[in-house]
């Protein structure tokens, strides 16, 4: 598998130097310094095509406009990674800030929402596997409860999950010997407001291993999969990227059944599931 990795805040050193990354992912790591530089790279790698697809609904033929993002000739990319979308959004936001006052005009918040949503729409159409890492921050609600939200200024953080098939939150636990172990929380709770698994095949807590959602997406017949990871710095977001290309033998972490959003039973590698409300 060949991975195109955008390192927007120098987190790649978690995985090694430039040559080690080239060996691991099959492509050089890219680190655009501005929003426009990132957009120009996308234009050089992909083509935006508007097409009309004819579908039959009973005896009626319906013409449907469709937008496809296709790799340019010679571009071989299986997985597309942005690390992090939080920093990418800030790169555009900085272009809107008045250099003298350090503030944005009211109408610029609408511009920010439009640009970020347009970028997410484009990225979500890229074929294959798409991964966006995003920082999270704790927000206290009016009722006193806490929830973790994507660290993105403006209103895009309220509905960012709609662009993705999987939205996972990073969690860290200490083993008995004091070694940290890293997991993803996959099901929606009041604290993990955006979490979701459109396949409905994954337990609520899994190891940080991309082979698990990729396999689930294949079982459901998805054409690729789009994954958003939300978490604080140091919670495994970048380190887990190596599992895109390195198959692991990790087993799913044992989970208390009362914590599950769905009851999953595995028998001879076949999964049966009863769902009690899934954020899809």
Residue 180 CA to residue 177 CA, distance in Å, equals 9
- What is the Cα 117 distance to its own chain's centre? 14
SS3 7: strand
How many C-beta atoms lie closer than 10 Å to residue 25's C-beta? 24
Look-up of token digits 């920010």:
112
Position 144 scores a pLDDT of: 81
Residue 62 CA to residue 148 CA, distance in Å, equals 42
The per-residue pLDDT string of the chain (280 residues; one tens digit each, 9 = 90 and over) reads 999 999 999 999 999 999 999 999 999 999 999 999 999 999 999 999 988 989 999 999 999 988 899 999 999 999 999 999 999 999 999 999 988 888 999 999 999 999 999 999 999 999 999 999 999 999 888 788 899 999 999 999 999 999 999 999 999 998 888 888 999 999 999 999 999 999 999 999 999 999 999 999 999 999 999 999 999 999 999 999 999 998 654 443 444 433 333 333 332 333 333 333 334 3
Residues 137 and 151 sit within 8 Å (Cβ to Cβ): yes
Residue 8 CA to residue 131 CA, distance in Å, equals 14
Contacts of 199 (CB under 8 A, 6+ apart): 165, 166, 213, 216, 217, 219, 220, 222
Q: What are phi and psi of 60, to 5 degrees?
A: -95, 135
Residue 88 CA to residue 171 CA, distance in Å, equals 23
Position 271 scores a pLDDT of: 33
Q: What is the pTM of this model?
A: 0.84
Position 140 scores a pLDDT of: 86
Position 211 scores a pLDDT of: 96
Cα Rg of the chain, angstroms: 20
* Residue 99 in tokens: 């250099």
Contacts of 181 (CB under 8 A, 6+ apart): 172, 173, 174, 175, 207, 253
Task: Write the CA distances from 145 to 8, 159, 170, 193, 255, integer angstroms.
Answer: 32, 20, 19, 12, 24
Concatenated DSSP letters for 66-122?
Answer: EEEEEEPTT---SEEEEE-HHHHHHHHHHHHS-TTT----HHHHHHHHHHHHHHHHH
């Amino acid at each position: 598998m060949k991975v195109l990795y955008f390192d927007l805040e120098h987190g790649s050193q978690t995985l090694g130097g430039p040559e080690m990354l080239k060996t691991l992912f099959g492509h050089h790591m890219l680190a655009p310094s501005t929003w426009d530089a990132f957009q120009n790279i996308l234009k050089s790698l992909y083509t935006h095509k508007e097409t009309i697809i004819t579908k039959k609904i009973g005896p009626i033929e319906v013409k449907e406009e469709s937008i496809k993002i296709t790799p340019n000739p010679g571009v071989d990319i299986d997985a597309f990674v942005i690390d992090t979308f939080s920093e990418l959004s800030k790169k555009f936001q900085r272009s809107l800030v008045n250099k003298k006052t350090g503030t944005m005009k009211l109408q610029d918040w609408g511009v920010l929402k439009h640009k970020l949503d347009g970028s997410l729409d484009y990225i979500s159409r890229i074929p294959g596997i798409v991964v966006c890492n995003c920082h999270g921050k704790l927000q206290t609600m009016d009722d006193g409860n806490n929830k973790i939200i994507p660290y993105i200024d403006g209103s895009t953080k309220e509905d960012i999950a709609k662009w993705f098939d999987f939205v996972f939150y990073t969690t860290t636990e200490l083993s008995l010997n004091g070694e940290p172990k890293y997991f993803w929380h996959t099901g929606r709770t009041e604290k993990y407001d955006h979490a979701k698994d459109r396949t409905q095949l994954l337990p609520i807590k899994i190891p940080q291993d991309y082979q698990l959602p990729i396999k689930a997406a294949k079982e459901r017949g998805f054409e690729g999969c789009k994954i958003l990871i939300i978490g604080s710095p140091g919670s495994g977001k970048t380190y887990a990227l190596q599992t895109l290309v390195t198959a692991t033998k990790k087993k799913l972490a044992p989970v208390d059944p009362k914590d599950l959003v769905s009851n999953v039973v595995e028998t001879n590698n076949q999964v049966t599931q009863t769902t009690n409300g899934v954020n899809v």
